[in-house]
Amino acid sequence: MSARILVLHTGGTIGMQPSSAGLAPSPGFEALIRERLAAALPQLPAFDLIELDPLIDSADLCPTHWTRIAQLLRAHYDAYSGFVLTHGTDTLGYTAAALSFMLRGLDKPVVVTGSQIPLFAARNDAEENLIGALQLAAMPELREVCVCFRGRVLRGNRSVKVDATALAAFDSPNAPWLGSIGIDIELDRAALLPGVTPAFSVPTFDPAAVAVLRLFPGIQAGLVKAVLGQPGLRGVLLQSYGVGNPPAANHALMEALEAALARGTVIVNLTQCSRGGVAGGTYATGAALQRIGVIPGADLTLEAAFAKLHLLLAERRTPAEIRTLMPQAWCGELTPRD
């Protein structure tokens, strides 16, 4: 069977057009692709395109959009050999991670891409990213959610937007690239996920369920309490220092964390560093978090931890189940500790 790809356009710079208020999502992306890539199309896999309605600037994305996107992919899953998701770059890493956890056991490629400059512009990175994504989506050995951006093929749940302006905007600081696009598309076959049996989980998300709390020198317990006391909050990603250290000498702050844990709030410890992860137990300060029941988040990116915790909460898992499931590697998102 020759490859047929479904492109799901969600919005983002790649398909934006100028408006009186600045660049804004605009319908009609398929016609624009067919016009701008006319010369290349005969050499590319055939595709159909559907658009999210309404299209969004990904800065406006909520976890509820993940449900809509995954529903659309699931509804069309059997009819296509691969999928391309065109998405704004701002929250692309969150969506790629969320899809990797929702579409577990994927046995076809789902390639997420976007661009820093819109396709309509004379000089743009959209053409290159789109062409790469379409070609990757036709490679059956890719059986996972990946990101294609500026010649890099990255695991979706390891991807981070690392540059606001450069065209090489994405990287995976804690995992090797899955491949790169030069004269040829080179995939690191040993690094690819095997693909098992699709076992999709597409729950309804509550955007209020998860918050991110970044520590900073002099942070006050009152601020921490205010965050932890938000209505509907059930999970918190604590961005601590280095290998996972909080200001443990701030007893009021530590007590606020302990009180939230006792109320059933799940807290996951992540590093603020852009590379590496939480080792837990190296320093007395970090060990204090583990002692009170904070879950070490290993080398999960903020995006992946956010999506995974949201999914576990949306699936109505208990705090004890989350304690077991969060540190497990489901689809390459973290490096397990032995």
Query: Mind telling me the catalytic residues?
Result: 13
Number of residues counted as binding ligand ASP (CB under 6 A): 11
Kindly state whether residue 196 participates in binding ligand ASP, applying the rule CB under 6 A: no
Closest to ligand ASP by CB, 114 or 156: 114
Q: Residue of minimal CB distance from ligand ASP?
A: 88
Report the nearest approach of ligand ASP to the CB of residue 62 (Å).
13
Report the nearest approach of ligand ASP to the CB of residue 54 (Å).
13
Closest to ligand ASP by CB, 159 or 271: 159
Kindly state whether residue 113 participates in binding ligand ASP, applying the rule CB under 6 A: no
Within residues 238-277, the interface with ligand ASP by CB under 6 A covers none
Closest to ligand ASP by CB, 96 or 142: 96
The binder of ligand ASP chosen from 5, 7, 9, 13 (CB under 6 A): 13
CB neighbour list of residue 28: distance below 8 Å, 6 or more residues apart: none
Output phi, psi for 324, to 5 deg. Answer: -80, -45
Q: Is the bond into 173 cis (omega within 30 degrees of 0)? A: no
Reduced to 3 states (helix: H, G, I; strand: E, B; else coil), residue 311 is helix
The binder of ligand ASP chosen from 63, 82, 88, 280 (CB under 6 A): 88
Kindly state whether residue 296 participates in binding ligand ASP, applying the rule CB under 6 A: no
To 5 degrees, how large is the angle CA 67–CA 70–CA 71?
A: 80
| Greatest CA separation for the chain | 65
Helix orientation angle between 92-102 and 63-75, rounded to the nearest 10 degrees: 50
The binder of ligand ASP chosen from 89, 239, 245, 285 (CB under 6 A): 89
Report the nearest approach of ligand ASP to the CB of residue 219 (Å).
29
Query: Are 209 and 264 contacting, i.e. CB atoms less than 8 angstroms apart?
Result: no
Kindly state whether residue 319 participates in binding ligand ASP, applying the rule CB under 6 A: no
Reduced to 3 states (helix: H, G, I; strand: E, B; else coil), residue 215 is coil
The binder of ligand ASP chosen from 15, 45, 114, 244 (CB under 6 A): 114
Kindly state whether residue 58 participates in binding ligand ASP, applying the rule CB under 6 A: yes
Residue indicated by tokens 């598309």: 185
Query: What is the rounded CA–CA span in Å between residue 288 and residue 291?
Result: 5
Choose one: 53-61, 136-144, 193-201, 223-231; the region binding ligand ASP (CB under 6 A). Answer: 53-61
Query: What is the rounded CA–CA span in Å between residue 87 and residue 72?
Result: 14
Query: What is the rounded CA–CA span in Å between residue 317 and residue 309?
Result: 10
Query: What is the rounded CA–CA span in Å between residue 26 and residue 54?
Result: 9
Choose one: 83-91, 230-238, 269-277, 285-293; the region binding ligand ASP (CB under 6 A). Answer: 83-91
- CA neighbours closer than 13 Å in the CB half-sphere of residue 336: 10
Q: What is the CA radius of gyration of the chain?
A: 20
Report the nearest approach of ligand ASP to the CB of residue 25 (Å).
7
Instruction: Point out which residues bind ligand ASP (CB under 6 A).
Output: 11-13, 57-59, 88-90, 114, 116
